[in-house]
Structure 1
Amino acid sequence: MKFFWFIRSVLFSVGQLSSLVFFSVIGLGLIPFSHRVRYQFIHYWAKFCIWWLKVTCGLTYTVHNKERIDLTQTGLVLARHESAWETLAFQSIFPQQTFVLKKELLKIPFFGWGLAMLNPISIDRNAGRKAIKQVVEEGVDRIQHGVWVVIFPEGTRIAAGEFAKIKGGGALLAQKAQAPVYLVGHNAGDFWPKNSFIKRPGNIDVYISEPFDAAEMTVAEINQKTEEWFLTHSSIRRSEDEKGRVDNT
C-alpha cells in the first residue's frame, strides 16, 4: 500500500513542479501589471495542484461552514498550519489573498517567483518586534486595499497531534485591521504530513469559525480563542491535563 502511495505521490510531484515552472515563467511577463492581475493568473496554479492532488493521490477536501465567509468585507484568516496543502487550497476557499511568510521563501527559484506575485508580507522571523510591526502595518494596508490576509499564528508548520504556542503578531493585526477575523482548523496533516513526500488518500475537513470583531479584545483573549478553535477543529490531540490548563489560563 505504501509503495502505491509513493508512486501516486511521484505523479503528483511531477505535475506540480512542471506546472510551477510554466506558471512562474509566464508570470514573469505580468510583472508590469497590477497585483490583482498577477494574482488572478498565479492562483490558477494552486487550483491546478488541488485538482491534480485529487486525480493522482485521491485526496479531496470538504469545507464546513463556508457560508460564514462574508464576501462583502475583506477579512483576516488565522489558520492552523499542518502541511503545504492549506497554502494551495485556501486559494479556492477564500477570495484574493496573501500570506505572511518568511522572506527566505522568495529566494527559491520558480516557487519564490510565484509567491512574489501574491505580494506577500515577507518577514525576517529573527527580527522580533520589528517583524511584528511589519506584519501589522503591511497587513492593515493589504486589507484596506481589498486583499485578504492569511496568517499561521503558530509561526510554522506543526505536525498533526502537536501544538505550538500561538504568537502575538496575528492577534495584534486582528486588533488593528478593522476587519472580520476567521479562525480555520483542519486535519491536512493526517494525509499530507509535515515534511512528508507521501500523500495519503482521503478527505480533509476544513472548519471555518463565525467571523468576529477583535478590536476590543486583548491579545491574550484572541490567542485563547484561536487556540481553542485549533484544539477542537484540527488534528491536534491533547491530554485532559493540557486541556484543563488551557481552560484555566
Structure 2
Amino acid sequence: MAFLRSVLHMAFMFCTVIPYALLIVVASACGTRGDTLYVWAARWLRLSIEAARVIMGIRYQIQGQENLPDGETSPAILLVKHQSTYETFLMPAIMPHPLAYVFKKELLYVPFFGWAIGKLDMIHIDRSQRAKAFAKVVEQGQALLAKGVWVIMFPEGTRIPRGQRGQYKSGGTRLAVATGAPVIPIAITSAKCWPRRAFIKHPGVVDVSIGKPIPSVGREADELMREVEQWIEAEMHRLDPEAYATKP
C-alpha cells in the first residue's frame, strides 16, 4: 500500500509541476513581478504537501512558530536540518515571508522544476568558484533580506540519513555575520516518513521545531555555527529519540 501511495503522489507531482512551471516561465518572459511568481511557486509546494497528507498520510506539526521575527521587512536566515525533499517543499508553505534558497546551479537544468526556480529570486551558485560564489551569496542575500525575503540554507549541505549528523558548514552563519541578520535554527524529523533518497514513503507525523533567533552581530561565524549545530542536534534527539537510541 505504501508503494502504491508513493507512486500516486509522484504521479500527482509530475502532472502538476508541468503547468505550474510553464506558467512561471511564460509569465517571467512577459515581465511578471518576482513576488507574484514566488506566490505561484509556493502554491504548488503547498499543493504537494497537502497531496502528501491526503495520498500518503504524511502530516506535520510545528513548535516554536512564535519565535519567527515580526515585521514586514524583518530579516532572518533560516538554517534547517536536512533529511529529505519534504522540508524543501514544506518551508515555503509554512513561512510568513517569501524564501530564497541557496542552491547549486546544476538544479537549473532539471526539466520544468529547474526552469521555474531559475525565474525566481533565488541564489544559485557555482560551487567550483568558492570565493566568487560566497561573494554572490552576500550580495544577493543583502538585497533580498532588505526586501523582507528570508534566506534559507541547509548547513549540512546534503540530505542526511535519519539519526545521523552531517558536517555543518559555516556558509549560513558567514552570511548572517556579513549582513547582520539573525539566524533561526530549525529541526525537522522528515526522514521518519520520507527517508533520504527513498521512493517509498510512510504515513506519520513530521515534527518541525523552530528555535529562537540567534543574533549574529559581533559573532564569529564558526562559533555561531557551533551554537546552531548544538541546538539543532539536541532538538533532533528530543523530537526523534528512537532514531538516536543507540547513538551517543
Normalising by structure 1, report the TM-score: 0.90
Q: After TM superposition, which residue ranges in structure 1, 4 or more long, deviate above 4 angstroms?
A: none
Aligned to 1:232: 234
Aligned to 1:12: 9
What amino acid does structure 2 have at the position aligned with 1:76?
I
Aligned to 1:115: 117
More displaced stretch, 167-176 vs 229-238 = 229-238
Aligned to 2:25: 28
Q: Distance in 2 between matches of 1:200 and 1:88?
A: 17
Q: Distance in 1 between matches of 2:234 and 2:200?
A: 26
Q: Distance in 1 between matches of 2:189 and 2:113?
A: 25
Q: How many residues align?
A: 237
What amino acid does structure 2 have at the position aligned with 1:20?
V
What amino acid does structure 2 have at the position aligned with 1:200?
H
Cα deviation for residue 5 of structure 1 reads 0.4
More displaced stretch, 177-186 vs 12-21 = 177-186
What amino acid does structure 1 have at the position aligned with 2:159?
R
Identity of matched residues, %: 31
Helix, strand or coil at the partner of 1:33? coil
Q: Distance in 2 between matches of 1:161 and 1:132?
A: 30
Task: Please give the residue correspondences for 1:10-89 in structure 2 after superposition, counting only pairs within 5 Å.
Answer: 10-31=7-28, 32-72=31-71, 73-89=74-90
What amino acid does structure 2 have at the position aligned with 1:191?
C
Aligned to 1:167: 169
Q: Any conservation in 2 of the 1:75–1:149 contact (CA below 8 Å)?
A: yes
Task: Please give the residue correspondences for 1:142-181 in structure 2 after superposition, counting only pairs within 5 Å.
Answer: 142-181=144-183
Cα deviation for residue 12 of structure 1 reads 0.5
Cα deviation for residue 133 of structure 1 reads 2.3
Helix, strand or coil at the partner of 1:29? helix
More displaced stretch, 126-135 vs 157-166 = 126-135
Q: Any conservation in 1 of the 2:192–2:204 contact (CA below 8 Å)?
A: no
Unaligned stretches of 5+ in structure 2?
A: none
More displaced stretch, 48-57 vs 153-162 = 153-162
Aligned to 1:243: none
Aligned to 1:223: 225
Alignment RMSD (CA, Å): 1.5
What amino acid does structure 2 have at the position aligned with 1:28?
V
Normalising by structure 2, report the TM-score: 0.91
More displaced stretch, 230-239 vs 145-154 = 230-239
Aligned mate of 1:102, from 101, 104, 107: 104
